[in-house]
Chain A
Amino acid sequence: MMMNLDDDIAAWAATVRLPDTQAAAVFQQIVATPAPGPPAAPRLDPSWWRHFTADFTARMVSSTRPVRQAV
């Protein structure tokens, strides 16, 4: 039986090629993976405002306390 070398190599290639069904399954598995989100923007600690107002209030109270006069 005479066959062309290219035909023989193509016949072998068909046996090792990834079947479309398996390729589709791989695709579905990959796209089901969560995509990486954008990098988080730098921001202040959420407790910053609470600490700031507490500190500010404490300073305000202490600064308005009447000073004891020497007799």
Chain B
Amino acid sequence: MDREAEFGRLYEAHRAAVHAYFTGRTGDPQLAADLMQDVFLRVWQHLEKLTGMPDGRHRAWIFTVARNLSVDAHRHQHTRAGAEQALAREPPPVLQPASTPVIAAERAAVVGQAIRHLPEPQRITLTMAAAGEMTSAELAAALGVPAGTVRYRLSLARRAVAEALDRYDDPAENT
């Protein structure tokens, strides 16, 4: 077995989802990259065990490791500190007239702020759906919750983001 090629296949298939999970969990894409590296280091160390599994089990195995690792990280307060730093770094949206690319960037910032203020389950679910480009069924398998719960969380999260964008589009109407 070509270990590196096999690992590369798993890495490419799951890295975006794992990174999105930790981004949703911590609010910090850089801390998420560190945690993602820890997860895939375990994949590398246990590759023989994973290659013996059917394809559908890989994601469940990887996300079990990710959830356990995340809990450990929370125990050491790293993720909380990371989220607070990320929140502090986030610039407030600028509300004067601007060009189209600037407006698009501002709207992305509004979306980011709205997502940061979501309850954690909704934040993780929406981040994984958007940044990890995962379907409801894939999210359900990764998070260990029913697909209906995933769709409900996504619906609530999207509504909150839409409301934040409405306030941005028409601040006078919403004050």
Contact = CB atoms under 8 A, between A and B. Distances in A.
B100 interface: yes
A35 B23 contact: no
B130 A13 contact: yes
Contacts of B100: 1
B39 to A, nearest CB: 10
Contacts of A29: 37
Interface in A1-48: 1, 3, 5, 8-18, 22-23, 26-27, 29-31, 33, 35-36
A9 to B, nearest CB: 5
A30 B103 contact: no
Interface of A: 1, 3, 5, 8-18, 22-23, 26-27, 29-31, 33, 35-36
A35 B72 CA distance: 24
Interface residues of B, number: 39
Contact of B45 (A3, A22, A36): A36
A17 B111 contact: no
B108 A11 contact: yes
B41 A16 contact: no
A12 B111 contact: yes
Given A15-B112, A16-B23, A31-B7, A9 B126 contact: yes
Contacts of A5: 158, 161-162, 165
Given A1-B103, A17-B16, A26 B40 contact: yes
B47 A11 contact: no
11 contacts: A1-B100, A3-B107, A5-B158, A5-B161, A8-B110, A8-B161, A13-B130, A18-B15, A23-B19, A26-B33, A30-B7
A15 to B, nearest CB: 6
